[in-house]
Amino acid sequence: MLDKVINELHLYEKKLLNSIDKNIDSTPEEIAESEQMPVKAVTSAAGMLESKDIITVEKNSTDNINLSEEGEEYVFKGLPEHRILKALQDFDSEGKTEASLDEIIEKAEVSKPQMNFSIGILMRHKWATMNNGKLSLTDDGKQVDISQLPQSKFLKYIHDKKTVAEDKIPEEFADVRKEFKKRKELFEIKTIQDFKYHLNDKGKQILEKGFTIQDEATQLTHEQLKTGSWKNLHYKGYDINTSVPNNFPGKIHPLQQTIEEIREIFIDMGFDEAKGNILESAFWNFDMLFQPQDHAAREMQDTFYVSNPSQANLPDQKLVDMTRAEHEHGGNTGSQGWQYKWNEDVAKQIVLRTHTTGLSVRYLSENQPPLKMFSVGRVFRRETINYKHLPEFHQVEGIVAGEDMSFKNLLGILKEFYRKLGFKVRFRPAYFPYTYLSIESEIYVPEKKSWMELGGSGMFRPEVLEPLGIQTQVAAFGLGIERLAMMRYGIEDIRMLYQSNIGWLRQLPVTKNIKTF
């Protein structure tokens, strides 16, 4: 076991061990010089040896004090408060018992900020008093010998010593040093770290057994291979059974990964991608989809309405009038419509889109069949936040339009889509205001031995297509992406997809195909 440890020691680790054995009190700088190593290599090798329990590194930090440039100036000129005190003493000797601040500033050669700062010190030491903006010397102030003040002596002491360790300051200056703690402009403090290395039992055993110090090759050059000199090199030993540290590479978030996978599938199936704004008029979000203006989904408790701007601009009047006709009496479709008075102001309301189907009808208004289109985007609904609902989520929507398009074609497209995702799918009848022959797609969950609803689809009603001038059949479908991602990653709580849980994210595999059924 010890032979294995010695064989894996780096050249610098061996040199450091050898130096410690010779002189345990050597500093990293002294070791670096004696062993012809960079200082950083010494500290790095020490860290490696300590991690292997071969040595113990003792670290001690010392704060060394030097005078700053300003501090050096005060050694010769005196501290501002001392210069002011000296000026007051001079005025007093001249028979002037008080002096204005301007007079003192000029005589003491201090700045106005220094003057303001010093007044408090003078009064705290009871060396001066102030009355009507003028300073007067006290009896205590008259007796002061500035050269003998502890503050003056301390600055002179630091000046003479050049550098003094914080813990080596004489006891007589302890109070002064405490007083000067806040006056950082007077000093420069440099922290010096001192390292001492001590051999552990394991290190002593290694030195007792002994080792050879020689240059080690860690990589080969072209020249060494060409000349054959590689045969004479000594190679560092490696333990092929050593465990490697966990590696956490960058990866796409699972929700975004699911979105990208869906996009790839639809693009491979020949669909074009469309994008739109999250702010939509009620006209495109509801009215164009033949959803009556008194429908429950339009209530404030189900939809987010925007107050600024308060209204949207509607499209051309012909499309608006035809949409009105569909709602009021069914237009020319043979339908009776919803039999109510359609309100244009209601259609102008602005909402956070509740689905991306509004983008589908917008696309139909700008493009003629045949076409295949899909979109992926965020939608918003006033949902109570719980383990399976959020007020903001993602939805994928798609339409297929053409002369030969039928309900059977729609089922085939959906089956192929879910097959590419790796799911077994079935369909059951459903109802949506803007489609007929409507269905909901359900995928099988093996763990629960049950079916899970994932999205709705159907054929657009004539009342949706007539205002757009579309004469062919149009199939439409949509599904929630978060629910799909939960299935792929085995998540029970939808909120997990939006939590900053770095541990969970690190555990996820990098590959996108997580589960297939």
Q: Which two tokens stand for residue 9?
A: 């020691």
Instruction: With H, G, I as helix, E, B as strand and everything else as coil, classify residue 40.
Output: helix
Q: Sheet holding 450-460: strands in order across?
A: 272-273, 371-380, 392-402, 473-480, 450-460, 435-445, 425-429
Task: Return the closest-CA partner of residue 162 out of 50, 268, 34, 64.
Answer: 64
Q: With 60 as the cut, is the pLDDT of residue 221 above it? A: yes
**DSSP classification of residue 472:** S
The region, left, alpha or beta by phi > 0 then psi within -120 to 50, assigned to residue 339 is left
pLDDT at residue 440 in the model: 94
Give residue 364's pLDDT.
94
pLDDT for residue 62: 85
pLDDT beyond 50 at 514? no
Residue pair 457/467 in contact by the 8 Å Cβ criterion: no
Nearest to 266 by CA among 119, 413, 112, 465: 413
* Tens-place pLDDT, residues 469-484: 999 999 999 999 998 8
DSSP string, 98-134: EEEHHHHHHHHT--HHHHHHHHHHHHHTTSEEEETTE
What pLDDT is attached to residue 239? Answer: 66
Residue range 257-312, pLDDT digits in tens:
999 999 999 999 999 999 999 999 999 999 999 999 998 888 888 899 999 888 99
Tell me the Cα Rg of the chain: 42
Q: What would the pLDDT profile of 141-180 be if each residue is shown by its tens digit?
A: 889 899 899 989 999 998 998 888 888 888 988 888 888 8
How many of the other CB atoms lie within 10 Å of CB of 313? 8
Contact between 282 and 349 under an 8 Å Cβ cutoff? The reply is yes
pTM: 0.55
What single-letter DSSP state applies at residue 217? Answer: B
- Collapsed DSSP state (helix, strand, coil) of residue 510: coil
pLDDT band at 511 (very low <50, low <70, confident <90, very high): low
35-69 pLDDT per residue, tens: 888 888 888 888 898 998 988 888 888 888 999 99
Average the pLDDT over 104-108 and give the result.
Answer: 89
Q: Do the Cβ atoms of 311 and 348 come closer than 8 Å?
A: yes
* pLDDT digit string, tens, across residues 178-190: 888 888 888 988 8
What CA–CA distance (Å, rounded) separates 481 from 497? 11
Cis before 370 (ω within 30): yes
The mean pLDDT of 223-243, rounded to a whole number, is 78
In which element (H, E) is residue 340 found? none
Q: Which phi-psi region, left, alpha or beta, contains residue 512 (left: φ > 0; alpha: ψ -120 to 50)? A: alpha
Residue 476 to residue 308: CA distance in whole angstroms: 32
For 306-338, what is each residue's pLDDT tens digit?
A: 998 889 999 999 999 999 999 999 999 999 999
Q: What is the pLDDT of residue 238?
A: 67
What per-residue confidence (pLDDT) applies to 517? 43
Alpha-carbon distance 452 to 418, whole Å? 13
With a cut of 60, say whether residue 513 has pLDDT above it: no
The token pair that represents 310 in the structure block: 């308060």
Write out the two tokens for 453.
């609803």
